[in-house]
C-alpha cells in the first residue's frame, strides 16, 4: 500500500468503454491490491471500477454488492435524482456517464441505456435490418411506453426489469434481462433520450454531449465492427442512410432542451470535468436537502434499523412465534453459542434443528393452492439447501446472497435468483441466526418483486430481540418463527460461537 497508485482519468474510463486502448489491463494490475469500495450497477456495463488512495479516489477495480435502497425504517427513500444524457451516436455519452459516477462517490447509481428498449423486429424487419435498410435512429424504433414506465418506476424507488437487446439477432435476450432496484441517482442515456416530453419531465438535469460528425463516425465504426458483428461497409451504409439524417432531424433540436452542452471532441477531459462538476454539485445539493447521508458518513455510523425508544423498551412483537422446544433444547443452545463441538458436529446439529424448524413452519403455514418458496439469503445457505425435505410437495427454491460489509456494517445484496412466479408465492426466508440488517435487505427484495408482506415468513434457530422488534416495526405484517430469542439491550448481535455459521 506504500506505492503510488496511478490516477485513472475520464479518458481512461472512456477508452475502456469504447475499446480504444490496450494498456488498461496493465493499469488495473498495478492497482489490484488497493482497497475496494462499492459503486454501481448498470444495464450497459456491469460495474464502475474504483480504488482508494488516502483521500483521493480513482476507479479501476471491479466490485459488486448492492447497498440498501431503503431507509432505516425499511421504507423506500424519496424520488431518485435523474440525469438525462443525450447526444449523437458515439458522441461520448458513456464517457460523461462514467465520469459522473466516478466523481459522485455515492453508494449506488443506476445507469440505464435507451439501447435496451429497441423493439423486437418481425421477420420482415429483421431482413431489412440485415440489408442495412431498417432505421434504428427514430423514436418509432423504440418501445417508448416501456421506456417511460421503466424510468418512472426507478425514479419512484421501485424495481424495474431492464431488457437486454441483441444487435446481431435484433431481438431481446430474455434470459439476460436484469432487475434494477431503487437508487439515489439514475443516469439515463441515449441518442433519443430527450425525444419524449414524459421522459424530459422526469429528468432533474439534462446534458447534451456533442462531437464533430467525423469523430462520431470514427468511433461508431470501431464500436460496431468490434462489438456488434458489423462490417465496415454496412456501418457506413447505415450511417449515411439513417444515422446522419436522424441526427440532423432530431439531435440538433434536442440541444435546446439541455441544461448543459458538453463538447466531447477527442475525448476532451476538461470539458467532461466541467459538466461533471456542475452535475455533481447540483445532485449533492438536492440529496442533501433530502437528508441523504454520504458514503463517508456510513463509514463512521454503523448501519442499524431505526427504533423509537418506546418500541425498543417494549415487549416482543405479536407477530413473533417461538416454536415448541425439544426436551434437550437448552443443552443444544449452549453447544451452538459456545462452539463446544467440532465444526462437523456443529453443522450436523444445526442441520437437524433447521430441518425441524423448517418442516414445522412449512406444515403449519404453507399454501395449498399457491406456490411456496424456500429462500436462503446468507452465506450459511448450505444449512438450508442440505435439507431436501424442504423441496418436496411442490416447494420451490430461491436464493439471495446478502453480506454485511465489514468496514461499514451495511448489508449488501450480491446475488438474487428467484422463481418467476415469486409474486404469487408464499415465501419462507431461512436463516439460522437472525440478528442484523441482512434480513431487512432480503425482505425489501421480496417486496420489490411484488410479494405481499403478509406472505413473507422468516424462519430461524435464534433471533435477537432487537432484530424481532426492528422487523415488526418496519413490516408489521411479516411473520417470524424462531426456536429461541436472545435478549440484548444495546446491540443486535448474538453471543459468541454462532458465527461458525459463516465460516
Q: In this structure, what C-alpha cell is assigned to residue 89?
A: 451516436
Per the model's pLDDT, the better-predicted residue between 80 and 149 turns out to be 149
- With vertex at residue 154, the alpha carbon angle to CA 153 and CA 156, rounded to the nearest 5 degrees, is 65
Q: How far apart are CA 271 and CA 478, in angstroms?
A: 51
In this structure, CATH architecture of domain 57-296: 3-Layer(aba) Sandwich (3.40)
Per-residue pLDDT band for 14 (boundaries 50, 70, 90) equals very low
What pLDDT is stored for residue 466 in this prediction?
Answer: 82
For range 135-152, the mean pLDDT: 92
pLDDT surpassing 70 at residue 220: yes
For range 350-370, the mean pLDDT: 80
What pLDDT is stored for residue 26 in this prediction?
Answer: 39
Can you say how many angstroms the Cα of residue 125 is from the centroid of all Cα atoms in its chain? 34
Contact 56, 48 (CB under 8 A): no
What pLDDT is stored for residue 44 in this prediction?
Answer: 35
Contact 185, 80 (CB under 8 A): yes
What pLDDT is stored for residue 49 in this prediction?
Answer: 31
* 309-486: CATH topology: Rossmann fold (3.40.50)
Q: In this structure, what C-alpha cell is assigned to residue 182?
A: 431503487
- Burial 297-324, CB ≥16 within 10 A → b, else e: ebeeeebebebeeeeeeeeebebbeebe
DSSP states of 142-210 = B-HHHHHHHHHHHHTT--EEE--EETTTTEE-GGG-EEE---SEEEEEETTTTSSHHHHHT-SEEEEEE
Query: Worst-scoring range by mean pLDDT, 38-52, 105-119, 365-379, 438-452?
Result: 38-52
For range 374-378, the mean pLDDT: 84
What pLDDT is stored for residue 470 in this prediction?
Answer: 83
Question: Of 120-124, 318-322, 483-487, 491-495, which one has max mean pLDDT?
Answer: 120-124
Q: Residue 410: in which H helix or E strand, if any?
A: strand 410-417
Per-residue pLDDT band for 452 (boundaries 50, 70, 90) equals very high
Per-residue pLDDT band for 85 (boundaries 50, 70, 90) equals very high
Contact 229, 181 (CB under 8 A): no
pLDDT surpassing 80 at residue 23: no
For range 247-262, the mean pLDDT: 87
Query: Worst-scoring range by mean pLDDT, 154-168, 215-229, 337-351?
Result: 337-351
Per-residue pLDDT band for 282 (boundaries 50, 70, 90) equals confident
Q: Tell me the percentage of the chain whose pLDDT exceeds 90.
A: 12
What pLDDT is stored for residue 68 in this prediction?
Answer: 58
Q: DSSP letter for 119, please.
A: P
Q: DSSP letter for 36, please.
A: P
For range 256-272, the mean pLDDT: 76
Q: Does pTM top 0.75 for this prediction?
A: no
- Could you tell me which of 307, 313, 288 has the C-alpha nearest to residue 440? 307
For range 292-298, the mean pLDDT: 46
pLDDT surpassing 90 at residue 117: yes
Q: Which residues pair with 410 in a beta bridge?
A: 405
**Phi, psi (degrees; rounded to nearest 5) at 443:** -65, -45
Q: How far apart are CA 112 and CA 189, in angstroms?
A: 6
pLDDT surpassing 60 at residue 122: yes
Q: Residue 434: in which H helix or E strand, if any?
A: strand 433-434
What pLDDT is stored for residue 12 in this prediction?
Answer: 33
3-state helix, strand, coil in the chain (%, to 5): 40, 20, 40
What pLDDT is stored for residue 192 in this prediction?
Answer: 93
pLDDT surpassing 80 at residue 156: yes
What pLDDT is stored for residue 46 in this prediction?
Answer: 37
CATH 3.40.50.2020 domain position(s) in the chain? 309-486
CATH 3.40.50.300 domain position(s) in the chain? 57-296
Query: Worst-scoring range by mean pLDDT, 173-187, 355-369, 389-403?
Result: 389-403
Contact 45, 17 (CB under 8 A): yes
pLDDT surpassing 80 at residue 205: yes
Averaged confidence pLDDT in the chain: 72
Residue that is written with C-alpha cell 426466508 in the block: 429
- Could you tell me which of 371, 441, 447 has the C-alpha nearest to residue 400? 441
Q: How far apart are CA 327 and CA 257, in angstroms?
A: 73
For range 300-304, the mean pLDDT: 42
Helix, coil or strand: residue 127 = helix
For range 70-95, the mean pLDDT: 77
pLDDT surpassing 60 at residue 72: no
For range 358-387, the mean pLDDT: 77
Q: How far apart are CA 445 and CA 179, in angstroms?
A: 10
Per-residue pLDDT band for 222 (boundaries 50, 70, 90) equals confident
What pLDDT is stored for residue 84 in this prediction?
Answer: 93
Question: Of 100-104, 280-284, 454-458, which one has max mean pLDDT?
Answer: 454-458
Q: How far apart are CA 84 and CA 417, in angstroms?
A: 30
Per-residue pLDDT band for 300 (boundaries 50, 70, 90) equals very low
Q: In this structure, what C-alpha cell is assigned to residue 315?
A: 415487549
pLDDT surpassing 50 at residue 151: yes
Per the model's pLDDT, the better-predicted residue between 464 and 348 turns out to be 464
Per-residue pLDDT band for 188 (boundaries 50, 70, 90) equals very high
pLDDT surpassing 60 at residue 446: yes
Per the model's pLDDT, the better-predicted residue between 23 and 443 turns out to be 443
- Could you tell me which of 467, 395, 407 has the C-alpha nearest to residue 431? 467
Q: Residue 403: in which H helix or E strand, if any?
A: strand 395-405
Per-residue pLDDT band for 305 (boundaries 50, 70, 90) equals low
What pLDDT is stored for residue 386 in this prediction?
Answer: 57
Neighbour tally for 198: CB within 10 Å: 13
Amino acid at each position: 500500500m506504500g506505492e503510488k497508485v496511478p490516477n485513472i482519468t475520464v479518458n481512461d474510463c472512456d477508452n475502456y468503454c469504447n475499446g480504444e486502448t490496450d494498456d488498461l489491463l496493465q493499469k488495473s494490475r498495478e492497482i489490484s491490491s488497493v482497497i475496494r469500495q462499492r459503486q454501481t450497477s448498470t444495464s450497459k456495463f456491469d460495474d464502475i471500477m474504483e480504488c482508494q488512495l488516502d483521500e483521493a479516489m480513482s476507479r479501476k477495480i471491479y466490485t459488486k454488492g448492492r447497498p440498501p435502497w431503503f431507509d432505516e425504517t425499511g421504507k423506500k427513500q424519496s424520488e431518485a435524482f435523474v440525469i438525462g444524457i443525450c447526444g449523437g451516436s458515439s458522441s461520448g455519452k458513456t464517457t460523461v456517464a462514467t465520469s459522473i459516477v466516478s466523481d459522485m462517490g455515492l453508494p449506488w447509481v443506476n445507469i440505464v441505456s435507451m439501447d435496451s428498449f429497441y423493439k423486437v423486429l418481425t421477420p420482415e424487419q429483421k431482413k431489412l435490418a440485415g440489408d442495412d435498410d431498417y432505421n434504428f435512429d427514430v423514436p418509432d424504433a423504440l418501445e417508448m411506453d416501456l421506456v417511460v414506465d421503466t424510468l418512472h418506476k426507478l425514479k419512484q424507488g421501485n424495481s424495474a426489469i431492464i431488457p437486454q437487446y441483441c444487435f446481431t439477432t435484433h431481438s431481446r435476450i430474455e434470459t439476460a434481462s436484469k432487475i434494477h432496484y431503487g437508487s439515489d441517482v439514475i443516469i439515463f442515456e441515449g441518442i433519443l433520450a430527450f425525444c419524449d416530453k414524459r421522459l424530459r419531465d422526469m429528468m432533474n438535469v439534462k446534458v447534451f454531449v456533442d462531437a464533430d460528425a467525423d469523430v462520431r463516425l470514427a468511433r461508431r465504426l470501431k464500436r460496431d465492427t468490434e462489438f456488434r458483428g458489423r462490417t465496415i461497409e454496412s456501418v457506413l451504409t447505415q450511417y449515411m442512410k439513417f444515422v446522419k439524417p436522424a441526427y440532423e432531424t432530431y439531435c440538433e433540436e434536442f440541444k435546446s432542451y439541455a441544461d448543459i452542452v458538453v463538447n466531447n471532441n477527442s475525448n476532451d477531459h476538461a470539458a467532461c470535468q466541467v459538466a461533471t462538476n456542475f452535475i455533481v454539485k447540483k445532485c449533492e445539493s438536492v440529496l442533501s436537502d433530502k437528508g441523504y447521508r454520504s458514503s463517508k458518513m456510513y463509514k463512521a455510523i454503523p448501519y442499524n434499523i431505526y427504533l423509537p425508544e418506546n418500541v425498543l423498551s417494549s415487549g416482543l412483537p405479536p407477530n413473533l412465534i417461538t416454536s415448541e422446544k425439544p426436551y434437550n433444547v437448552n443443552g443444544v443452545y449452549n453447544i451452538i453459542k459456545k462452539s463446544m463441538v467440532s465444526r462437523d458436529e456443529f453443522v450436523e446439529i444445526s442441520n437437524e434443528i433447521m430441518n425441524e424448524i423448517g418442516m414445522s413452519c412449512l406444515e403449519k403455514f404453507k399454501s395449498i393452492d399457491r406456490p411456496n418458496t424456500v429462500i436462503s439469503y446468507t452465506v450459511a445457505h448450505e444449512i438450508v439447501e442440505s435439507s431436501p425435505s424442504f423441496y418436496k410437495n411442490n416447494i420451490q427454491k430461491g436464493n439471495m446472497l446478502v453480506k454485511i460489509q465489514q468496514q461499514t456494517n451495511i448489508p449488501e445484496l450480491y446475488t438474487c435468483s428467484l422463481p418467476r412466479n415469486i409474486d404469487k408465492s408464499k415465501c419462507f426466508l431461512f436463516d439460522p441466526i437472525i440478528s442484523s440488517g441482512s434480513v431487512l435487505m432480503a425482505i425489501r427484495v421480496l417486496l420489490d418483486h411484488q410479494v405481499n408482506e403478509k406472505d413473507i415468513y422468516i424462519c430461524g434457530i435464534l433471533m435477537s430481540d432487537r432484530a424481532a422488534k426492528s422487523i415488526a416495526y418496519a413490516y408489521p405484517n411479516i411473520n417470524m418463527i424462531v426456536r429461541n430469542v436472545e435478549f440484548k439491550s444495546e446491540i443486535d448481535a448474538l453471543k459468541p460461537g454462532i458465527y461458525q455459521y459463516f465460516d
